[in-house]
C-alpha cells in the first residue's frame, strides 16, 4: 500500500509499505478522505508542534474517514468517520469524563501514532462512527473540525440573543460561526486576513466582518459592538494579534476561548486589560463526546461542512495539497487516498 511519511520540515515521501493487520478490538480501514488541518501544517513546517517533535518518520492526517475492510468486524463494509483520539480509558482524567485530557492519549498524526495519509490503517473499533447515507466521505472527515468547533462553543456557554466575536475564519472559525448562529447569537463579528474567508463568514451568518492587515482592528470591532464589547470571543487564528483583539473586544466579565495554535509556541496579550476586565480565558483542547452530535447536525442540514471543501488531491499530489493549504488558498484542502 502507499503511505505518505514526513521525515523533516517540508520533507514528505510517498513510499510502499505492507498492509497492517488488525489486533483484537481493531478494524482495518481503507482511508477515503483526509482533511489538511492547521496543526498538520505545523508538523509540515516545523516537523513538530509545540513541545512535540518528530521522533521517527510520521504519517500525518487526523481528519479522516474510510471504509471498514475487516470481515470479522461488526462494522464490515460500513463507511465510517474516524475519531483520531485514542484515550486510555484508565487514567483519572478519563474517569472524570475528560478523555481529551487523557494522560496517555494517542492521537493520529502526532508523536509516534501514524495518521490517515495512507491507503489503509488499523484503528480501535470504539473510535469508529458509521456514516449515514446522506454524508459523503469528505463530510465524514469534516466531522473532526466540526467536533472541535462544537467543543469550543460548549466551553463558551453561548445563550440565545448573545453577541459573539470570531477572530480567524478558517474552517473551524467558519464552523463556529454556523454553530453560534444556530445557538441564537444575534450579532457575530468576524475578522480575518483573507477576503475570501470573510466572504464565506458572511454567507454563514457573520453580521459584521473586518479585514485584518498589520494594523489593529480593535477600535472598529469595539464600535461594531456598540461600544460595549461582546460577551464571548473565539480566537481561531493562532496569532497573538487576534488574541490581543479578542482581549480588547470582549466586554468586562466576558469570556475568551482560545482555539488557535500559535506560531511560535507562545501566546501573549496585554495583562492589564485582561485583568481589569476580569476576563475568563478558556483554552480549547481538541474535543470530547462530539461525533454523534456532529453527525446529526450535518445529516439534518443544520451545519454545512460540504461547501468548506474547496480543493481535492490524490495521495500522489499530497505535497501540492500542503502547499495550497499553507498559502491559505480556498478553505479546506482534502486528500483522497
Cell numbers describing residue 145: 473540525
Q: Domain extents for the chain?
A: 2-142+305-335, 146-283
Q: Bigger pLDDT: 224 or 218?
A: 224
State pTM to two decimals. 0.96
Instruction: Grade residue 28 by pLDDT with cuts at 50, 70 and 90.
Output: very high
The answer to whether 212 and 189 have CB atoms below 8 angstroms apart is no
**Average per-residue pLDDT for the chain:** 95
Pick the CATH number of 146-283 from 3.40.50.720, 3.40.50.10090, 1.20.144.10, 3.40.640.10: 3.40.50.720
Cβ burial, residue 41 (10 Å; 0-12/13-18/19+) = buried
pLDDT at 216 over 70: no
- Using CA atoms, how far apart are residues 133 and 314, in angstroms rounded to an integer? 23
pLDDT band at 215 (very low <50, low <70, confident <90, very high): low
Q: Which helix (H) or strand (E) holds 199?
A: helix 195-203
pLDDT tens digits for range 29-68? 999 999 999 999 999 999 998 888 999 999 999 999 999 9
Q: What is the CA radius of gyration of the chain?
A: 20
pLDDT, tens only, 78-99: 999 999 999 999 999 999 999 9
* CATH node for 2-142+305-335: 3.90.180.10
Angle between helices 38-46 and 318-326 (to 10 degrees): 110
For residues 321-331, average pLDDT? 95
Residue 214 has pLDDT above 70, yes or no: no
**219: pLDDT confidence band, cut at 50, 70 and 90?**
confident
Indicate whether 217 pLDDT > 80: no
- How many other CB atoms are there within 10 angstroms of residue 181's CB atom? 18
**pLDDT at residue 211 is higher than 80:** yes
Amino acid at each position: 500500500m502507499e503511505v505518505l511519511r514526513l521525515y523533516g520540515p517540508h520533507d514528505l515521501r510517498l513510499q510502499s509499505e505492507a498492509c497492517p493487520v488488525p489486533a483484537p478490538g481493531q478494524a482495518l480501514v481503507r482511508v477515503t478522505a483526509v482533511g489538511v488541518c492547521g496543526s498538520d501544517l505545523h508538523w509540515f513546517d516545523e516537523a513538530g508542534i509545540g513541545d512535540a517533535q518528530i521522533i521517527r518518520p510520521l504519517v500525518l492526517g487526523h481528519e479522516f474517514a474510510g471504509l471498514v475492510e475487516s470481515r470479522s468486524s461488526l462494522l464490515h463494509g460500513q463507511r465510517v468517520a474516524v475519531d483520531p483520539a485514542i484515550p486510555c480509558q484508565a487514567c483519572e482524567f478519563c474517569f472524570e469524563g475528560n478523555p481529551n485530557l487523557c494522560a496517555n492519549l494517542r492521537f493520529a498524526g502526532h508523536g509516534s501514532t501514524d495518521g490517515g495519509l495512507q491507503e489503509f490503517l488499523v484503528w480501535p473499533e470504539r473510535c469508529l462512527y458509521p456514516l449515514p447515507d446522506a454524508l459523503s466521505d469528505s463530510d465524514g472527515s469534516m466531522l473532526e473540525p466540526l467536533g472541535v468547533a462544537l467543543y469550543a462553543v460548549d466551553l463558551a456557554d453561548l445563550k440565545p440573543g448573545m453577541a459573539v466575536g470570531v477572530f480567524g475564519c478558517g474552517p473551524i472559525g467558519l464552523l463556529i460561526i454556523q454553530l453560534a448562529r444556530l445557538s441564537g447569537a444575534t450579532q457575530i463579528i468576524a475578522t480575518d486576513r483573507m477576503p475570501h474567508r470573510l466572504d464565506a463568514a458572511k454567507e454563514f451568518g457573520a453580521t459584521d466582518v473586518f479585514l485584518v492587515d498589520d494594523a489593529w482592528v480593535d477600535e472598529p470591532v469595539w464600535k461594531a459592538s456598540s461600544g460595549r464589547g461582546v460577551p464571548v470571543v473565539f480566537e481561531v487564528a493562532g496569532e497573538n494579534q487576534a488574541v490581543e483583539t479578542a482581549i480588547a473586544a470582549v466586554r468586562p466579565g466576558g469570556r475568551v476561548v482560545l482555539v488557535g495554535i500559535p506560531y511560535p509556541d507562545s501566546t501573549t496579550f496585554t495583562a492589564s486589560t485582561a485583568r481589569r476586565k476580569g476576563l475568563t480565558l478558556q483554552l480549547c483542547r481538541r474535543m470530547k463526546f462530539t461525533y454523534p452530535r456532529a453527525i446529526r447536525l450535518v445529516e439534518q442540514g443544520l451545519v454545512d461542512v460540504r461547501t468548506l471543501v474547496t480543493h481535492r488531491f490524490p495521495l500522489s499530489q499530497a505535497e501540492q495539497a500542503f502547499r495550497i493549504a499553507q498559502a491559505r488558498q480556498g478553505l479546506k484542502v482534502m486528500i483522497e487516498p
